[in-house]
Amino acid sequence: MRLVDLTATLDPANRERLPSFFPPDIKGVIAPSIEYLHPAELGGKNQFCAGLGCRHEDLPDGEGWGAERLTDMSSHCGTHVDAPLHSGSRSGGAPARTITDIDLGELFRPGMVLDVRAFAKGGEPITIEMLDRAIAAVGRPIAPGDAVLIRTGQERYGITDPEYFNQPGMSRESTLHLTSLGATILGTDAVGWDLPFPVMASRFRATGVKEDLWDGHKAITQREAFIVQQLTNLKALPPTGFDVGFFPIKLANCSAAPARVVAFVPDGVG
C-alpha cells in the first residue's frame, strides 16, 4: 500500500506572498498566522515555567517546550472539506449538515481523478462535455459514493502567480452532473471550486442573473455533496483503483474544516 499526501502545507509565509489584489481580510483562507515558541528560546521557556511553577534555572536541560499559537485561521484554510452548510442553510431539502454531522465513513471513499487539463482554461467554466471526456478516459463510470478529484492543472502555478487565482471553475450544471452520477465528494486542485470571484462578479454586473453567483457551490443546496478545495499532488495518483481519506479537524458546528487528505493506493496500481 502506497500513501499519497494530497494536502497543501499551511505555511504562514504564504500570507505575505499573496498578490496585491488578494483581499487582506481573507488571508486566513491561505494560511494561519503562527507564533512559534521554541524550546530553547524565551517563549518556550516562559510557557513551561508558567505551567509547571518553576524558574528558568530549574529547567531540566535548560530548555522549555515547543509550542505554537495559531491565529487568524479560517475554517476554510488550506486543503479543507466544505460541509453542506457552507453552501446554504438547506441541502437536498433538509437542514444543511455541519462538519461535525458528517461521519468519517462518508469521508473515506473510492477515488477517481478526472484530468481536464487538456480542455479547461483559466477563468472559464469546466463543462459537462469536458467532464464526460475525462470520465471516458478513466475507463469506468462514476459509481455511487465516489470521491471525484478534478485535476485542472493549477499545480503549475505558485501562490505568487496571479494565474493561481484564475482557476477553471465548476458551474451549477457541471457540479450537478457529477452528483447525479453518484459522486458524494467533489475535489479540486484549484484554490476554489467555482470560477474566480472577479469573473463571477463581472458576469453578474453584465447580466444581473443572481443565480450565476457562486453557482458551483450553490448546486450543493439542491443535491448534497462535500466539496474539497486546494488539493495537491494529484499527479501522483492513478486515474482510479485507490481510496481517499478526507480527515477534517473536528470543529463543532462549522461549515468547513482544514483536513489531512491521503490517498491509499494498493501495490501494483498506477
pLDDT above 90: residue 21: no
Extended beta strands in the chain, E state: 2-5, 33-37, 67-71, 80-82, 90-91, 94-95, 108-115, 125-126, 147-151, 169-170, 185-188, 226-229, 240-248, 256-265
User: How many C-beta atoms surround the C-beta of residue 132 within 10 A?
Assistant: 13
CA-based radius of gyration for the chain? 21
Does residue 178 surpass a pLDDT of 80? yes
pLDDT at 270 over 80: no
Question: 69 φ, ψ to 5°?
Answer: -110, 120
123-133 residue pLDDT tens: 999 999 999 99
pLDDT digits (tens, 9 = 90+) for 39-86: 999 999 999 999 999 999 999 999 999 999 999 999 999 999 999 999
Query: Which domains occur in the chain, in start order?
Result: 33-71 (no CATH), 80-265 (3.50.30.50)
Task: Name the residue with cell 477563468.
Answer: 123
DSSP state of 231: B
- Distance between CA atoms of 113 and 68, rounded to whole angstroms? 36
Give the pLDDT mean for 133-154.
Answer: 98
Please give the grid coordinates belonging to residue 110.
473510492
Confidence of residue 26 (pLDDT cuts 50, 70, 90): confident
So what's the pLDDT on residue 23? 78
User: Are 35 and 14 in contact, with CB atoms under 8 Å apart?
Assistant: no
| DSSP assignments along 14-80, one per residue | HHHHS-TTS-GGGGGGT--EEEEE-TTSHHHHHHHHHHHT--GGG-TTS----EEEEES--TT-SSE
What value does the mean pLDDT of the chain take? 96
